[in-house]
Structure 1
């Protein structure tokens, strides 16, 4: 007995009885209706797998239009249901019309029991496959949502950041390839994810690949996939990152780390929008939005013969330069506050706060590691904190590292800067103590540092 539910709709009670007797030994549940007007109120319709539907209900009418009407109504409510049409008035054009309207099959009365059972079994197989497809689609959508979950945020109100986000908004809904440049730790992947979020592909996957971590030997396998037995460890067929990102966005980080040989292979895939798995000769078309990122100067690499000029043109339709944190002065405390709240919650130190001198020290530092360095600095301070107030000593940052005077001070301005940096270093970044030593107010000290770009 197959685990399926069947509904028979026919105004002839003899037909209902005969089909119920025939089907009850083959299927888990058989229900009957003698009036099609009861279909909309049939409470378990969405659980039904197969409907056997008569095409004519009114006396003297044999056009089949009534059956076609109810076929449409049933398919509206349950699109994946299998409906078998039944009629004593067979006509090829009527059968064709029913199939066009979404019927699974067509049965003539009187029927042959074996043929009818075979027809119902086929309709059940169709219904089962549709259910499986729906489940797979749902699983795929759930997986995409999980993959696209991004718990990191772009934080800041600086003019430099607003300019970047403005450019992102302009190009996001296009299909052009984008190259994101900037120093390490500036948040290039966050910008790439924002591009994807605002794009027309945001319902599809965002696949990120760190090109710097892929060895040259595994480049083709990782990006284009491989077939079982293609090499020693290829124990099963595997799709590469290009196939995984099909219909979505493929983000290639650290693209400046590729060798010339791998650059040529990548260029071919981008140009032709076709990849071939390792160990296969079958071309596979791919539809991706390409976003790349690097902290290298690709123009200089082209001049030095280390990067292909034609590949640079392919990936660099639009370039987005992410500013370093030192050029986003107004965002430093916003970011610090965000990470402080995040790590206070994570490590159970809810009452923790930063005093003004600690904030001044963060503002005075050049942040060579950018946002990533700020994040780790705040986390370390929260973990090691003993009281409820974070002070300059909780942040082991050396402000003097942001300037070098190789030949010593040669101007009054340089002498002043050197004195300020020495005072800050002596007092471990404590602005109040350094200001007292220098005989100026803390605000004056901060203003001087800001004016000098430190």
Structure 2
């Protein structure tokens, strides 16, 4: 929608702000309505529709909670208003403004603002509101060879949220099943952040034992333990100035969580064997395949740590719920592997595409990638057929939407792992690749099933 056709409602208890916005927009928008008291919102929204609402984050009202804007944002959503909402915030409330994106705000502006920036933000919000799928981004570029691809509504929402939160230092929690691309999203956030020229350090914290956890994250001094032959900086120090990505955060113990929380609160680490605290400056991104509802169980995860790592959350949908993204990704991977293996361009026939779209991909994008790579390697012609697409042995698992009844999924998974390991004569790397999981994930399953 164009700004000149828009009806805009401005809600702020500062009359100077209302006057300034009205004067700025009156010649550019269809009409501008201002209101000092947010408690009149229900009556205002019931009388007419607005295309966009500018909403202050803090009011001198009876609520006076310090985040009144979030309260009224939720009220606007409860009233089923279709208006895009832009939050107006002071610099000190940027974290709250970022949190408002999670609650449904389209964007936020920091006051005092430049008039050109405010108009640009409003125009962008209106354009985003009416953008069709074909007009939306289909990728976030990470580097010359890796893209985060998608054209589904869910992925477009992720792209937009990444663009908004990347320039801030807000802590991010990325949720989603294994193989959905959580690490790629973390990299995208880093590359679009103000820390892009600083380190991006990844740690698979779920794979760290109790004894290695502190040494790996916080570092150690020479002689701190038997194998500590020299001083070593931990991952927090290595990432200082940049971004620290903690993968599989949902799998660490309560004792590890307590140590991590202390560092995040104090923003300093103490190496094992030392009494000297070292300040660290990091932007924290965490990821887990554990649903947020399970993390909320305090027997499993500390709530104070959840709040600390989860200023904004991003949910990455499984591939089976991303519609035509499967086709987009399949073509993307076919191009990568025809180039890699020096083969001519390969297309998919209709039945092959239908097979891809109907499959439930328990291994998500990782499984699709390996499926296409195998197909390209084995292809005899320029067109892949349905028979060329051989899915991972884990395809014996039923789609998650089906009724499980008395099926013992653990037995199926264990037998599948045994068959694949036998196929590759105990080669864990090749077995993990066939199964569409990481080596560390396979080791955990071997331990789980006592194989």
User: TM-score normalised by the shorter chain: which range applies?
Assistant: 0.5 to 0.7
User: What do the CA deviations read for 1:267-321 (whole angstroms, capped 9, x no partner)?
Assistant: 0000000100001000000000000000002432432511111111100111110
Q: In the alignment, which of 390, 394, 417 is matched to residue 396 of structure 1?
A: 390
- On the 8 A contact 1:186/1:324 being kept in 2, the answer is yes
Q: Tell whether 2:205 aligns with 1:211.
A: yes
- On the 8 A contact 1:366/1:399 being kept in 2, the answer is no
Q: In the alignment, which of 358, 364, 367 is matched to residue 364 of structure 1?
A: 358
Change (3 A) 1:262 1:400: closer
- 1:183, 1:300 → 2: CA distance? 14
Q: In the alignment, which of 286, 304, 309 is matched to residue 310 of structure 1?
A: 304
- On the 8 A contact 1:256/1:298 being kept in 2, the answer is no
Q: What is residue 165 of structure 1 aligned with on the other side? A: 159
Aligned to 1:180, the other structure's residue is in SS state: strand
- 2:144, 2:238 → 1: CA distance? 18
- 2:293, 2:347 → 1: CA distance? 45
User: What do the CA deviations read for 1:366-395 (whole angstroms, capped 9, x no partner)?
Assistant: 112111111011011111222332110111
- 1:406, 1:258 → 2: CA distance? 29
User: What do the CA deviations read for 1:206-258 (whole angstroms, capped 9, x no partner)?
Assistant: 11111122111010110000111111111111100000000100000000110
Aligned to 1:342, the other structure's residue is in SS state: helix
May I ask how many residue pairs the two structures share in their alignment?
260
- On the 8 A contact 1:177/1:316 being kept in 2, the answer is yes
- 2:384, 2:322 → 1: CA distance? 23
Q: Tell whether 2:170 aligns with 1:156.
A: no
Q: Tell whether 2:253 aligns with 1:250.
A: no
Map 1:297-336 to 2 at 5 A: 297-303=291-297, 305-336=299-330
TM-score w.r.t. the length of structure 2 is: 0.55
- 1:405, 1:219 → 2: CA distance? 39
- 2:404, 2:247 → 1: CA distance? 36
- 1:265, 1:149 → 2: CA distance? 34
Q: What is residue 33 of structure 1 aligned with on the other side? A: none
Structure 1 residue 352: Cα displacement: 2.7
Aligned to 2:274, the other structure's residue is in SS state: coil
- 1:305, 1:352 → 2: CA distance? 51
TM-score w.r.t. the length of structure 1 is: 0.55
- On the 8 A contact 1:178/1:320 being kept in 2, the answer is yes
Q: In the alignment, which of 284, 293, 297 is matched to residue 287 of structure 2?
A: 293
Structure 1 residue 405: Cα displacement: 6.2
User: What do the CA deviations read for 1:68-105 (whole angstroms, capped 9, x no partner)?
Assistant: xxxxxxxxxxxxxxxxxxxxxxxxxxxxxxxxxxxxxx
Q: In the alignment, which of 255, 263, 269 is matched to residue 257 of structure 2?
A: 263
User: What do the CA deviations read for 1:342-377 (whole angstroms, capped 9, x no partner)?
Assistant: 111111221432211101111111112111111011
Map 1:266-281 to 2 at 5 A: 266-281=260-275
Change (3 A) 1:149 1:333: closer
Change (3 A) 1:203 1:308: same
Gaps of 5+ in 1: 1-147, 408-454
Q: In the alignment, which of 168, 171, 181 is matched to residue 187 of structure 1?
A: 181
- On the 8 A contact 1:381/1:394 being kept in 2, the answer is yes
Gaps of 5+ in 2: 1-141, 406-451
Q: Radius of gyration: which is bigger?
A: 1
- 2:243, 2:296 → 1: CA distance? 26
- 1:249, 1:288 → 2: CA distance? 5
Aligned to 2:352, the other structure's residue is in SS state: helix
- 1:185, 1:386 → 2: CA distance? 29
- On the 8 A contact 2:335/2:345 being kept in 1, the answer is no
Aligned to 1:252, the other structure's residue is in SS state: strand
Change (3 A) 1:400 1:393: farther
- 1:339, 1:295 → 2: CA distance? 24
Structure 1 residue 400: Cα displacement: 9.8
- On the 8 A contact 1:298/1:307 being kept in 2, the answer is no
